[in-house]
Structure 1
Amino acid sequence: MLDLKLDIDSAPLAREISDIQRKQIPFALVLAQTRLATNRIKPGILAVMGQRLDRPTPTTMRSLFAQSATKSRGAKVWFKDSWTTGIPADAYLQQAVQGGARPHKRFEKSLIAQGLMKAGQYAVPTGGYLNQYGNVSRGVITRILSGLGAAEGGRGYQANATASKRSKRKGNAERYFVGTVGDESGVWERKASAFGDGVKPVFLFTDSAPQYRVIFPFFKIGENIGKAHGQAELANALREAILTAK
């Protein structure tokens, strides 16, 4: 989260105003911080996100929020930290912002909980199953977990494949399996073709966490935009506040 603070004493116009006009300073600070967050920093960060991140999804691009300032609180710019479903952006963007090793994803935790993958392993998707955003779709993930008996059920709903006719028609239990084929261990899909049956890897297991470099320095970008435009926004807000003072 990026907190915005402006120093009123550094604004040139602040040294030329009267005591009566000085009463408008709180309003000017709120106005300047809000405009800086919503009109400068948020659009600037979004522009860099679109350039630096690899095919960001519309949900990711909508996850950045700017909170207006009040007299008791400065303006803030941050990624939404909770969703109705799925993983919040402030969690899955941490590697892009800070770099380092990737923690286990929910999919991997489910495999580990069922003993299908070792605790120190990670599941890396293969290229043939990636969508236009470079991810394995939620639908494919759900089908895999269901077929492997690793789907999470809740509120009376059971997502794992069963022996029912409806479940067998979906074929997830027969389609996906965890095992070692040749020298590679992972999640595999059975594929039928005119040339015979075969298997194709969906995820391959690795013994080390994927490493990420910093590709999106969120805080540095926000601070640089604040330094570049903060005083101008403050001067404009202070001038506007003085002109409207009663």
Structure 2
Amino acid sequence: MSAEQVPFASALALTWTGQDVKKEIDGLLPQVFDNPTAYTQAGFRLYPATKRNLRALVTFREDARHFLNAQVTGGQRTMKALERALQATKALPPGMMAVPGQGARLDRYGNVDRGQVVQVLSQLRITMTAGYSRNMSHDARTAIRAQKRAGGRFFVARAGSGLHAGVYQRELVGRNITPVFLFVRSASYKVRLPVDEIARRVIDLRLQSNWASAWQRALSTAKRA
């Protein structure tokens, strides 16, 4: 009977150890990210071990992999959706990334307000693909309505224009312009969340005691059965 409980106890011990690893990683996220969102805090998940598959896996959630991977492995930062869209409109040069400027509206987590991002991309797609026509075409009228909703016109300043390259907003009335996104060279990250090292340390600390507890659980379960 004892031998029959080995796979059950092994799966239990591995799963508990995986939970310990995930708990340790989750606890370090606020140190790696400044004021992380709930989305970031839930960036890792645990695949528990089973009697048929004696492996517990702690890994990225698929939808969080693109921004967590650079913190774990280091290297070049993955482009954000905003940056991919700016490149698609030829606004953002290759090898550059967009950082918030003075005119960016930030939420409490330091991320740019999604509504403003939509306004910027909406205007740039119109002005950079259709242009401003002097005969007040449908696209021009659409652009003017979009500018009024946003409180000004967004435009791209390129290198050599006299402004730092980026996306700016010009007031509808007046001549003031404000940087919303500034273009800077893409960043390379150092490893800030050494997941493999964390996992090895937790495994060394917890696996043996988890196995002992799991074995006792398995034996007590077998006796009740």
Q: Aligned partners of 1:173, 1:49: CA distance in 2, in Å?
A: 37
Structure 1 position 227, deviation (Å): 1.5
Q: Does 1:139 align with 2:121?
A: no
Write the deviation string for residues 160-209 of structure 1: whole angstroms up to 9, x where unpaired: x863499447544952111146341110012468xx53111111112x31
Structure 1 position 222, deviation (Å): 2.0
Write the deviation string for residues 68-127 of structure 1: whole angstroms up to 9, x where unpaired: 21112222212210xxxxxx2111111211222213222222222222222232222225
Equivalent position of 2:35 in the other structure:
55
Equivalent position of 1:100 in the other structure:
75
Higher share of residues assigned helix: 2
The answer to whether the 8 Å contact 1:147/1:172 transfers is no
Equivalent position of 1:117 in the other structure:
92
Q: Aligned partners of 2:29, 2:89: CA distance in 1, in Å?
A: 36
Amino acid at match of 1:239: Q
Q: Does 1:24 align with 2:5?
A: yes
RMSD (CA atoms): 2.6
Question: Structure 1's 170 and 217: CA in aligned 2 closer, same or farther, altered over 3 A?
Answer: farther
Alignment of 1:201-212 (within 5 A): 201-206=179-184, 208-212=185-189
Q: Aligned partners of 2:51, 2:181: CA distance in 1, in Å?
A: 52
Amino acid at match of 2:98: A
The answer to whether the 8 Å contact 1:24/1:245 transfers is yes
Question: Structure 1's 115 and 48: CA in aligned 2 closer, same or farther, altered over 3 A?
Answer: same
Aligned to 1:136, the other structure's residue is in SS state coil
Structure 1 position 47, deviation (Å): 0.6
Write the deviation string for residues 35-59 of structure 1: whole angstroms up to 9, x where unpaired: 2222x12211111112222211111
Q: Aligned partners of 1:240, 1:140: CA distance in 2, in Å?
A: 55
Aligned to 1:245, the other structure's residue is in SS state helix
Q: Which runs of 5+ in 2 are unaligned?
A: 127-138
Write the deviation string for residues 118-148 of structure 1: whole angstroms up to 9, x where unpaired: 2232222225523321221222211110111
The answer to whether the 8 Å contact 2:156/2:166 transfers is yes
Identity of aligned pairs, percent?
A: 34
Q: Which residue of 106, 110, 124 corresponds with 1:148? A: 124
Bigger shift: 139-148 or 164-173? 164-173
Q: Which runs of 5+ in 1 are unaligned?
A: 1-19, 82-87, 151-160
Q: Does 1:233 align with 2:210?
A: yes
Aligned to 1:190, the other structure's residue is in SS state strand
Question: Structure 1's 142 and 162: CA in aligned 2 closer, same or farther, altered over 3 A?
Answer: farther
The answer to whether the 8 Å contact 2:70/2:78 transfers is no
Structure 1 position 215, deviation (Å): 1.5
Under a length normalisation based on structure 2, what TM-score does the superposition of the two structures give? 0.81
Aligned to 2:49, the other structure's residue is in SS state coil
The answer to whether the 8 Å contact 1:79/1:89 transfers is yes
Question: Structure 1's 43 and 212: CA in aligned 2 closer, same or farther, altered over 3 A?
Answer: same
